[in-house]
Chains A and B, each alone.
Chain A
Amino acid sequence: MSDHHDAPSNPYLKKRRDSGETEKLTKRVQKIEQLLIDKGVVTKEALDRIIEIYETDIGPLNGSQVVAKAWADEDYKQRLKTDATKAIAELGFSGLQGEHMVVVENTPSVHNVVVCTLCSCYPWPVLGLPPKWYKEAPYRSRIVIEPREVLKEFGTNIPSATEIRVWDSSAEIRYMVLPQQPNYAKNMSEEELAKIVTRDSMIGVETL
Chain B
Amino acid sequence: MRVDQKIFNMTDVEELPRKSGELVFHDNWEKRIFGMVVLLHQQGHFDWDEFKDLLIEQIRLSGETPEKPDLAKPGYYEFWIKNLEQILNRKKQTTRNDSTRG
Once A51-B31, A118-B59, A141-B66 are accepted as A-B contacts, the answer to whether A14 and B20 lie under 8 Å apart by CB is: no
B65 touches A137 (CB 8 A): yes
**3 shortest interchain CB distances as A-B pairs:** A7-B21, A135-B76, A29-B29
Interface code A29-51, partner B: CB below 8 Å = 1, 0 otherwise?
A: 11011011000011000111011
Q: Could you tell me the distance between the alpha carbons of A22 and B72 in the complex, rounded to whole angstroms?
A: 11
Q: Could you tell me the distance between the alpha carbons of A118 and B20 in the complex, rounded to whole angstroms?
A: 24
Which residues of the other chain, A, contact B34 by a CB distance below 8 angstroms? 51, 54, 129
Q: How distant is B73 from chain A, measured CB to nearest CB, in Å?
A: 8
Q: How distant is A60 from chain B, measured CB to nearest CB, in Å?
A: 6
Q: How distant is A62 from chain B, measured CB to nearest CB, in Å?
A: 12
B101 in the interface, Cβ–Cβ < 8 Å? no
B21 touches A6 (CB 8 A): yes
Q: Could you tell me the distance between the alpha carbons of A47 and B39 in the complex, rounded to whole angstroms?
A: 7
A142 in the interface, Cβ–Cβ < 8 Å? yes
In this complex, what residue of A is CB-closest to B54?
A119
In this complex, what residue of A is CB-closest to B84?
A32
Number of interface residues of B (CB under 8 A): 49
Once A96-B41, A120-B76, A141-B66 are accepted as A-B contacts, the answer to whether A60 and B18 lie under 8 Å apart by CB is: yes
Q: Could you tell me the distance between the alpha carbons of A104 and B57 in the complex, rounded to whole angstroms?
A: 28
A29 touches B32 (CB 8 A): yes
B76 touches A29 (CB 8 A): no
Q: Is the interface of B mostly helix, strand, loop or mixed?
A: helix
Number of interface residues of A (CB under 8 A): 53
B29 touches A119 (CB 8 A): no
Chain A to chain B contacts (Cβ below 8 Å), 10 pairs: A8-B20, A25-B81, A28-B85, A30-B29, A50-B42, A59-B24, A118-B60, A120-B76, A129-B24, A136-B76
Q: Could you tell me the distance between the alpha carbons of A47 and B22 in the complex, rounded to whole angstroms?
A: 23
Which residues of the other chain, A, contact B32 by a CB distance below 8 angstroms? 29-30, 33, 47, 51
B75 touches A135 (CB 8 A): yes
Most B Cβ at <10 Å: residue of A4, A7, A15, A28: A7
In this complex, what residue of A is CB-closest to B2?
A3
Task: State which of B18, B26, B66, B85 has its C-beta within 8 Å of the C-beta of A137.
Answer: B66
Which residues of the other chain, A, contact B33 by a CB distance below 8 angstroms? 29, 32
